[in-house]
């Protein structure tokens, strides 16, 4: 059966899952790229960037695992792009170029309907205006027994956590301060929602924690 | 010259520096003891508890350093005890027995005046009703060139951070969720206040980070 999982989600020491003032120049908000320093340097990500080399070890293991057995993605509008409000036209197709690194159906939560976009490499962006339950059902169906990976931003993740729809989270706590931005756990009682930290693997660049919903 | 430093300050994955509902039974709030799991098991702390043994290595090094070169302490009322409001009598003398592990003057912030208490081992509790600047001046004076260590709770620490009075923080991020309690960095912009994470040392039980105010 499909698990719903959050993977390779960066968080700062001061608790932000993205920096402030997201824009075309700062997809993860000001300073937010620092959350992914551990990730971008791995062999898995370097391959995605079309490059040789990259780190091996703990960070690489988590990076590689983050892409395994994923049958569908769900993400918020802000992970898909910096635009807000109605789509001005059909030109924005995500940050990731013609061949995005998902290779599955991706359900993008939005208040503004838009036709699906088929990209190279098997990624199709579907735009869901009926909310997270609808996105969860559609993703589960197409995942066909594989896992559904929940992306960001933090506001989207919080919606899924509050609805009890996340089975497992892999967070990477990066040794940086962001000062401002999108807090991951503000006003959300993870214990009351049934979550426990079950694994803790530090690497030189991040502290990896696995948080699992207790049955 | 005296540095003002925070040391061995535990914080949960979800950002709490203490659990909810502090009481006589739960000095650090419900679940809060888990923040100090790395610390209490060290040789330094086992010695303070009058026991043999204890861990050595990264956690022990940080535990030992946390007591070095301290000339005075400042703490909030909630770190001193679970009582709120006016002191009912003189009987409460802290959580730490007759010989508290401070061995210096300790300035306790409170709205309710009380005579100083001299304890065994060189600890004297002074009760400061004039606010953090007054406590800082008095602590700096008696520290006589040694460092002033700022304790909790998180509300006290936030006051000192906002006033620009903290030179350095050593936090230990513990791999636990608290779900609720006293958030450490809520509504405080550490970058704007001039802080940067300058060191990151993971151990199997915690991730130690050093945050320093940039001059």
Q: What is the pLDDT of residue B179?
A: 97
Residue A131 placed within a domain: yes
Where on the phi/psi map is residue A184: left (φ > 0), alpha (ψ -120 to 50), or beta? alpha
Q: What is the pLDDT of residue A1?
A: 80
Nearest to B202 among A15, A196, A202 (CB): A202
Residues of the domain holding A169: 4-84+98-213
Q: What is the pLDDT of residue B188?
A: 95
> Can you read off the two tokens belonging to residue A156?
């989207």
Chain B residue numbers with beta carbons less than 8 Å from the beta carbon of A202 are 202-204, 207
| pLDDT tens track for A134-177 | 999 999 999 999 999 999 999 999 999 999 999 999 999 999 99
Q: Is A132 exposed, middle or buried (0-12, 13-18, 19+ CB in 10 A)?
A: buried
Query: pLDDT category, A55, cuts 50, 70, 90?
Result: very high
User: Could you tell me which chain B residue has the CA closest to the CA of A208?
Assistant: B175
Residue A91 placed within a domain: no
What's the whole-number average pLDDT of chain A? 96
Residue A93 placed within a domain: no
Nearest to A177 among B13, B15, B196 (CB): B196
Alpha carbons B163 and B175: distance in angstroms, whole number:
30
Q: What is the pLDDT of residue A136?
A: 98
For residue A142, the SS3 value is helix
What distances in angstroms separate CA A37 from CA A8, A12, A78, A174, B103, one per listed residue? Answer: 11, 11, 20, 8, 42
Residue B94 placed within a domain: no
Residue B95 placed within a domain: no
Look at the alpha carbons of B66, B173, B94, B167 in this order and tell me if their dihedral is positive or negative.
Answer: positive
CB contact under 8 A, A177 and B171: no
Q: What is the pLDDT of residue A215?
A: 81
Distance from CA of A19 to the nearest CA of B (A): 11
Inter-residue contact A64 to A139 (CB < 8 Å): no
Number of domains chain A contains: 1
Query: pLDDT category, A96, cuts 50, 70, 90?
Result: very high
Chain B residue numbers with beta carbons less than 8 Å from the beta carbon of A212 are none
Look at the alpha carbons of B43, B44, B45, B51 in this order and tell me if their dihedral is positive or negative.
Answer: positive
Residue B168 placed within a domain: yes
Interface test with B, best of A11, A15, A57 (most B CBs within 10 A): A15
The CB density around residue A210, as the number of other CB atoms within 10 Å, is 18
A181 touches B: beta carbon within 8 Å: no
What distances in angstroms separate CA B30 from CA B19, B68, B179, B180, B206, one per listed residue? Answer: 5, 30, 10, 9, 19
Q: Which of A159, A158, A146, A208 is nearest to A186 (CA)?
A: A158
Q: What is the pLDDT of residue A120?
A: 97
Alpha carbons B148 and B143: distance in angstroms, whole number:
7
Q: What is the pLDDT of residue B76?
A: 96
Q: What is the 3-state secondary structure (H, E, C) of chain B?
A: CCCEEEEEEEEECCCEEECCCCCCCCCCCCCHHHHHHHHHCEHHHHHHCCCCCCECCHHHHHHHHHCCCEEEEEEEHHHHCCCCCCCCCCCCCCCCCCCCCCCCEEEEECCCCCCCEECHHHCEEEEECCCHHHHHHHHHHHHCCCEEEECCCHHHHHHHHHCCCCCEEEEEEECCCCCCCEECCCCCCCCCCCEEEEEEEECCCCEEEEEEECC
Chain B residue numbers with beta carbons less than 8 Å from the beta carbon of A184 are 14
Residue A90 placed within a domain: no
| pLDDT tens track for A64-78 | 999 999 999 999 999
Chain B residue numbers with beta carbons less than 8 Å from the beta carbon of A200 are 175, 204
Length of chain A counted residue by residue: 215
Inter-residue contact B3 to B150 (CB < 8 Å): no
Alpha carbons A124 and A80: distance in angstroms, whole number:
12
Chain B residue numbers with beta carbons less than 8 Å from the beta carbon of A199 are 175
B37 touches A: beta carbon within 8 Å: no
- Domain harbouring A182, CATH code: 3.40.430.10
**What is the mean pLDDT, run by run of 10 residues, along chain B of 215 residues?**
95 97 93 96 94 96 97 96 93 95 97 97 98 98 97 95 97 98 95 96 95 94
Q: Would the pLDDT of A106 be above 90?
A: yes
Question: Does pTM top 0.90 for this prediction?
Answer: yes
A212, containing H or E segment = strand A207-213
Q: What is the pLDDT of residue B1?
A: 80
């Amino acid at each position: 059966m499909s698990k719903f999982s959050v993977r390779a989600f960066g968080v700062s020491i001061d608790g932000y899952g993205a920096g402030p003032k997201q824009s075309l120049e700062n997809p993860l908000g000001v300073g937010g790229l620092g959350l992914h320093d551990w990730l971008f340097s791995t062999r898995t990500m370097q391959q995605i960037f079309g490059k040789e080399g990259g780190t091996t070890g703990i960070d690489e293991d988590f990076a590689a695992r983050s892409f395994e057995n994923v049958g569908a993605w769900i993400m918020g509008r802000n992970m898909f792009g910096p635009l807000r409000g109605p789509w001005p036209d059909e030109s924005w197709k995500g940050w990731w170029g013609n061949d995005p690194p998902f290779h599955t159906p991706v359900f993008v939560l939005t208040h503004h309907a838009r036709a699906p976009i088929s990209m190279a490499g098997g990624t199709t962006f579907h735009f869901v205006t009926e909310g997270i339950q609808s996105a969860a059902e559609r993703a589960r169906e197409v995942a066909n027994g594989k896992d559904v990976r929940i992306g960001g931003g933090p506001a989207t993740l919080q919606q899924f956590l509050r609805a009890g729809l996340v089975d497992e989270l892999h967070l990477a706590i990066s040794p940086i301060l962001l000062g401002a931005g999108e807090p991951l756990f503000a006003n959300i009682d993870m214990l009351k929602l049934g979550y426990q930290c079950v694994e803790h693997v530090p690497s030189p660049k991040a502290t990896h924690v696995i948080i699992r919903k207790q049955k």
